[in-house]
């Protein structure tokens, strides 16, 4: 029996509708600023999509497009201006930055209260402790999808393939805590026994960036497969880390690429921005798991 296809676009649209309703009810403008440095084509596409998303839910776009030769000091000065602007409630720095710029230093300059990417060490520390904070959008999107499709989580086993600070590590923290209390293994590219781990997992999250890495014989029958990987192949199409056509015949649930986790990431970024705005305007904290 073929797996249930988890429609990230449909779930993301529901989340955006909720955000649009809540923004209207708040009764005052909410601002999001995406900083783009240079002319990387993929980054330009992503930023334009974020700007459209922002406008679709009634938020104000305060984005900045800076030349590739922007210095670290100039970038920090722009971030400082946005930190001080009360009309801007969320700030993101689009990656990758030009090679002469230090992305970690730039991230450290963002006010943690406006860090809607959830990459500032303060917010990462809050996630580690299951305390109020802004959590990365992709991992919260993964959890929102699993909950929407009522995939059993509590006490089940999960394998996260990839250990990036943007996806792998925070997904491990989110599924291992915040009420899910899954038994989580964070597997990475230096291991040589991937199939041994994935075959026993009830949930497999692929975030390795290697097309077709997860084969059908590596999946436990009925498991949920969340494919975060996205690579443009020689055929010009986008491919995930799972061999979708074959894995779907074994798995119980699976996300497509595109149309799975990608739309969820963008939707959760908007949810983060709304939560950040409410926190800044009211002085209230953000409860763990609030966004999902």
In order, the DSSP letters of the chain are -PPEE--HHHHHHHHHHHHHHHHHHHTS--EEEEEEES--HHHHHHHHHHHHHHHHTTPEE--EEE-TT--HHHHHHHHHHHHH-TT--EEEEPSSPPTTS-HHHHHHHS-GGGBTT--SHHHHHHHHTT-SS---HHHHHHHHHHHHTT---TT-EEEEE---TTTHHHHHHHHHSTTT--EEEEE-TT-S-HHHHHTT-SEEEE-S--TT-B-GGGS-TT-EEEE---EE-TTS-EE-SB-HHHHTTT-SEE--SSSSHHHHHHHHHHHHHHHHHHHHHH-----TTTT-
Q: Model pTM?
A: 0.94
Q: For residue 189, what pLDDT is reported?
A: 75
**Consecutive sets of 10 residues in the chain, 292 residues long: mean pLDDT of each?**
94 96 95 95 88 95 96 98 98 96 96 96 92 93 97 97 94 90 91 94 96 97 97 88 98 97 95 95 72 48
The single residue of 50, 156, 220, 248 carrying the catalytic annotation is 50
Burial (CB < 10 A; 0-12, 13-18, 19+), residue 100, is exposed
Domains 28-111 and 137-262 share a fold: yes
C-alpha count within 13 angstroms, C-beta hemisphere, residue 292: 30
> Which residue carries 């995406």 as its tokens?
34
Q: How far is CA 17 from the centre of its chain?
A: 18
Q: Which residues pair with 34 in a beta bridge?
A: 92
The single residue of 16, 53, 94, 115 carrying the catalytic annotation is 94
Q: For residue 42, what pLDDT is reported?
A: 83
The single residue of 53, 111, 115, 117 carrying the catalytic annotation is 117
Q: For residue 288, what pLDDT is reported?
A: 53
- Topology of domain 137-262, CATH: Rossmann fold (3.40.50)
Q: Give the closest residue to 8 by CA, choosing from 184, 215, 230, 218.
A: 230
Is 44 an annotated catalytic residue? no
Is 117 an annotated catalytic residue? yes
- CATH-assigned architecture of domain 28-111: 3-Layer(aba) Sandwich (3.40)
Structure tokens at 56: 């679709």
**Domain extents for the chain?**
28-111, 137-262
Contact indicator for 252, 223 with CB cutoff of 8 Å: yes
Q: For residue 289, what pLDDT is reported?
A: 47
């Amino acid at each position: 029996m073929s797996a249930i296809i988890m429609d990230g676009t449909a779930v993301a649209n529901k989340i955006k509708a909720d955000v649009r309703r809540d923004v209207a009810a708040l009764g005052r403008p909410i601002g999001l600023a995406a900083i783009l440095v240079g002319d990387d084509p993929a980054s330009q596409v992503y930023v334009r999509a974020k700007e459209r998303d922002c406008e679709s839910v009634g938020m104000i776009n305060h984005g900045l497009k800076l030349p590739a030769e922007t210095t670290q000091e100039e970038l920090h000065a722009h971030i400082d201006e946005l930190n001080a602007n009360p009309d801007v409630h969320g700030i993101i720095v689009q990656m990758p930055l030009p090679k002469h710029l230090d992305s970690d230093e730039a991230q450290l300059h963002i006010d943690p209260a406006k860090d809607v990417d959830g990459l500032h060490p303060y917010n990462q520390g809050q996630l580690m402790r299951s305390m109020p904070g802004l959590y990365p959008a992709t991992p919260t999107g993964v959890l929102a999808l699993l909950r929407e499709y009522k995939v059993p989580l509590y006490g089940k086993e999960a394998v996260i393939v990839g250990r990036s600070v943007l996806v792998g590590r925070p997904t491990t923290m989110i599924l291992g805590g915040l009420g899910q209390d899954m038994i989580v293994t964070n597997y990475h590219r230096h291991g040589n026994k991937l199939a041994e781990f994935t075959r026993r997992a009830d949930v497999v999250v692929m975030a390795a960036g290697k097309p077709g890495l997860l084969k059908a014989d590596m999946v436990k029958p009925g498991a949920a497969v969340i494919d975060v990987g996205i690579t443009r192949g020689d055929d010009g199409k986008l491919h995930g880390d799972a061999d979708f056509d074959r894995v779907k015949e074994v798995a119980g649930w699976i996300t497509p690429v595109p149309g799975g986790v990608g739309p969820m990431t963008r939707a959760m970024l908007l949810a983060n921005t709304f939560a950040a705005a409410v926190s800044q305007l009211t002085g209230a904290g953000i409860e763990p798991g609030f966004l999902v």
